Amino acid sequence: MTFSKKLCGVMGAVGLSLLAAAPALAAPIKAPDAAAMAGMVNKGDVAWMLVSAALVLMMSVPGLALFYGGLVRTKNMLSVLMQVFMIVSVAGLVWCCWGYSIAFTSGGDNHFFGGLSKAFLMGVDGTTYGATFSNNVYLPEFVFVVFQMTFAMITPALIVGAFAERVKFSSLIVFVVLWLTFIYFPMAHMVWYWAGPDFLVDTPSDAGLLWSWGALDFAGGTVVHINAGIAGLVGALMIGKRVGFPKEPMPPHSLTMTMIGASLLWVGWFGFNAGSNLEANAVTGVAFINTMVATCAAAVSWSLVEQVHHGKASLLGAVTGAVAGLVAITPAAGYAAPMTSIVLGFVVSPICYIFVAFVKGKVGYDDSLDVFGVHCIGGIVGAIGTGIVAAPSLGGQGVFDYTVFPAAFHPEAYSIPAQVWIQVKAVVFTLLFSGIGSAILYFIIDKTMGLRPSQEAEMEGLDLSSHGERAYNY
Amino acid sequence: MKLVMAIIKPFKLDDVREALSSLGIAGMTVSEVKGFGRQKGQTEIYRGAEYSTNMVPKIKVEVVCDDDLAPRVIEAVQAAANSGAIGDGKIFVLDVEQAVRIRTGETGETAL
């Protein structure tokens, strides 16, 4: 695999411009050793990345937990909160044990997953460093480990919405461990692993598969949202519909909780998207404002669709639109411009609305909380849209050429059709890899442990039957 | 003694209570109830999925009074709860055999 033009955004620009603005500084050092890296750490970057990691945790607990919890019936409230809480906790352990190593160490000639050299965080300590997107800018490795950990926590938690109210708790936790190991860590490796801007020039094939295709995914459109969304759909199909679906009404039990959860997601998402720049610089600001305005546009857009279609704009619609906007801007956050982000936000809501309000009913799958309709579809719109909005001709940030040292920027070389084609390939790859891989894992667990509680347990509600408690005692 | 049981629209409760107080009614029992009659239920829409609810929320007011007062109580409730629209509710009147004040053991109309 060769790198003709392997690129990853304008992040390098700031590092470079800083160097250019300070000619007194020595020329950038290629392949610095750990001692040199220690002098290339910026306290502002470190502070921002630690805050970002905490913000992404807040997206899962309590954000996502409340967003989902409010949408289920009273008798299943705690089951959803508990599933999200426990998935987050288990994922943190798995991440330290082997997740980080599989995702972020070199796989050598294998571009699908990394090795086990850093399993149990072996060799990672206070004197090791992780690369950013700028030449000669480093993060303490633990900061990078914990930031990426929060992504491994939220992604499997997203899936549970698709089969909420009807899954066996113990089986779900085993599924999550397997899914992280065989689907998520390899996906993260394929999309996000690369040798880094100071090393790639010497080892041009040392990167994950999709990264080497040139696929752009700033904060996890493919790795997080399409990945979780398709795994959710496959799960909803294999577990089957809830008892009584679709005849029995299953309205949300507390849209107040859902609004609180969605709002926490929005706030936390700044850590997710702007944090994904790995530095605190101008591109971080670009990702931040894009995340803000795409969400505004998608919330307005969903409400307009409902106003026209039903004559009433609902709160649930507005917050669902906001989440769709956040999903869509995720892969594009650091590449787009604010006004193109707004266009992306306006476009994503009607598309997700069609899937949630029409396609689901027509096809007849029971994606309880619309994980597929919002996260997978929104993720696909965002991933493909990224190929368009990243174009410098549209005010986008373009992409950097890391095959030379220091990284170079050729805005005129950006081709929208070529990039969109790469994005489409990345989307199709993710759908197939995660869809088929998840199906195999569900199948194995269904045949061994069983995926579904008994019908009686489901009718009684998972709070009592799985956890022995009630959400509301009054 | 009569039990006057009125099913009314929730937002009419204050009017009914004031009307009954002015007649000298010293106590009543109020419950939140659901039911249906001629009034159509509402439609709720969540992400495009429509649920029509047949049961409409109402308030049930129960008042026990002596026989002489009953016609005026019925009249007062009917006037106060009337909005002229479908769904204003119903009034039912039942005979009451006995009443007991638990604290003192008084019975009959003196217990009211």
* Contacting residues of B for A251, CB less than 8 Å apart: 44, 46, 51
Q: What long-range pairs does B47-56 form, CB within 8 A, spacing at least 24? A: B47/A316, B47/A317, B47/A320, B47/A356, B47/A357, B47/A370, B48/A309, B48/A353, B48/A356, B48/A357, B48/A358, B48/A361, B49/A246, B49/A357, B49/A361, B51/A249, B51/A251, B53/A249, B56/B87
Chain B residues with at least one Cβ partner in A under 8 Å = 44-49, 51, 53
For A365, the token pair is 């799958």
Query: Cβ contact (<8 Å) for A251 and B51?
Result: yes
**Mutate which: B46, B52, B53, vs A, most A CBs within 10 A:** B46
Query: Cβ contact (<8 Å) for B47 and A249?
Result: no
d(CA B108, CA A467): 51
CB atoms near residue A117 (< 10 Å): 10
CB atoms near residue A43 (< 10 Å): 8
The residue ranking higher by pLDDT, B53 or A282, is: A282
**C-beta of residue A261 within 8 angstroms of C-beta of residue A369:** no
Q: What is the pLDDT of residues A43-70, one digit of tens each?
A: 999 999 999 999 999 999 999 999 999 9
- The whole-number average pLDDT for the span A342-354 is 98
Which of A11-20, A161-170, A256-265, A276-285 has the lowest average pLDDT?
A11-20
Share of chain A above pLDDT 90, in %: 92
Nearest-by-CA chain A residue for B49: A357
Average pLDDT score over chain A: 94
Per-residue pLDDT at A11 exceeds 60:
no
d(CA A301, CA A182): 37
Domain layout of chain A by residue ranges:
11-22+31-467
From the list A246, A249, A316, the residue facing B47 with the nearest CB is: A316
Q: Smallest Cα–Cα separation from A242: which of A431, A423, A369?
A: A369
Q: What is the pLDDT of residues B48-70, one digit of tens each?
A: 888 887 888 999 999 999 999 99
Question: What is the predicted pLDDT for the residue at A114?
Answer: 96
Per-residue pLDDT at A148 exceeds 70:
yes
Query: Cβ contact (<8 Å) for B44 and A251?
Result: yes
From the list A249, A312, A357, the residue facing B48 with the nearest CB is: A357
Helix or strand or coil: residue A156?
A: helix
* Contacting residues of A for B53, CB less than 8 Å apart: 249
- The whole-number average pLDDT for the span A434-438 is 98
A310 close contact with B: CB closer than 8 A? yes
Question: What is the predicted pLDDT for the residue at B28?
Answer: 94
pTM (predicted TM-score): 0.89
Per-residue pLDDT at A117 exceeds 90:
yes
Query: Cβ contact (<8 Å) for A356 and B48?
Result: yes
Q: From the centroid of its chain, how far is CA B105? A: 27
A311 close contact with B: CB closer than 8 A? no
Question: What is the predicted pLDDT for the residue at A27?
Answer: 87
Which residues, at least 6 apart from A222, have a Cβ–Cβ distance to it below 8 Å? A187, A191, A210, A215, A331, A379, A383, A426, A427, A430
Nearest-by-CA chain B residue for A247: B51
Q: What is the pLDDT of residues B1-52, one digit of tens each?
A: 999 999 999 999 999 999 999 999 989 999 999 998 887 778 888 988 888 8
Share of chain A above pLDDT 70, in %: 95
Q: Which A residues in the span 379-438 are in contact with B, Cβ-Cβ below 8 Å? A: none
Alpha helix stretches (DSSP H) within A250-337: 255-273, 282-310, 315-329
Q: What is the pLDDT of residues A440-459, one digit of tens each?
A: 999 999 999 999 999 999 99
What backbone phi and psi angles, to 5 degrees, belong to A159? -60, -35
Nearest-by-CA chain B residue for A309: B48
What confidence category does residue B81 fall into, taking pLDDT thresholds of 50, 70 and 90? very high
Per-residue pLDDT at A406 exceeds 60:
yes
* HSE value, Cβ hemisphere, 13 Å, CA-based, for B45: 14
Which of A22-31, A39-48, A229-238 has the lowest average pLDDT?
A22-31
- The whole-number average pLDDT for the span A266-285 is 97
CATH superfamily of the domain spanning A11-22+31-467: Ammonium transporter AmtB like domains (1.10.3430.10)
A249 close contact with B: CB closer than 8 A? yes
Per-residue pLDDT at A4 exceeds 80:
no
The residue ranking higher by pLDDT, A438 or B38, is: A438
Query: Cβ contact (<8 Å) for A357 and B44?
Result: no
What confidence category does residue A25 fall into, taking pLDDT thresholds of 50, 70 and 90? low
Per-residue pLDDT at A425 exceeds 50:
yes
d(CA A450, CA A453): 8
d(CA A279, CA A47): 10
- The whole-number average pLDDT for the span A226-250 is 94
d(CA A344, CA A333): 11
Nearest-by-CA chain A residue for B51: A249
Helix or strand or coil: residue A199?
A: coil
Query: Cβ contact (<8 Å) for B51 and A356?
Result: no
Per-residue pLDDT at A2 exceeds 70:
no
Which residues, at least 6 apart from A174, have a Cβ–Cβ distance to it below 8 Å? A445, A449
The DSSP annotation for B60-78 comes to EEEEEE-TTTHHHHHHHHH
Nearest-by-CA chain A residue for B53: A249
Q: From the centroid of its chain, how far is CA A429? A: 16
* Contacting residues of A for B46, CB less than 8 Å apart: 251-252, 314, 316
**What domains, with CATH codes, occur in chain B?**
2-111 (3.30.70.120)
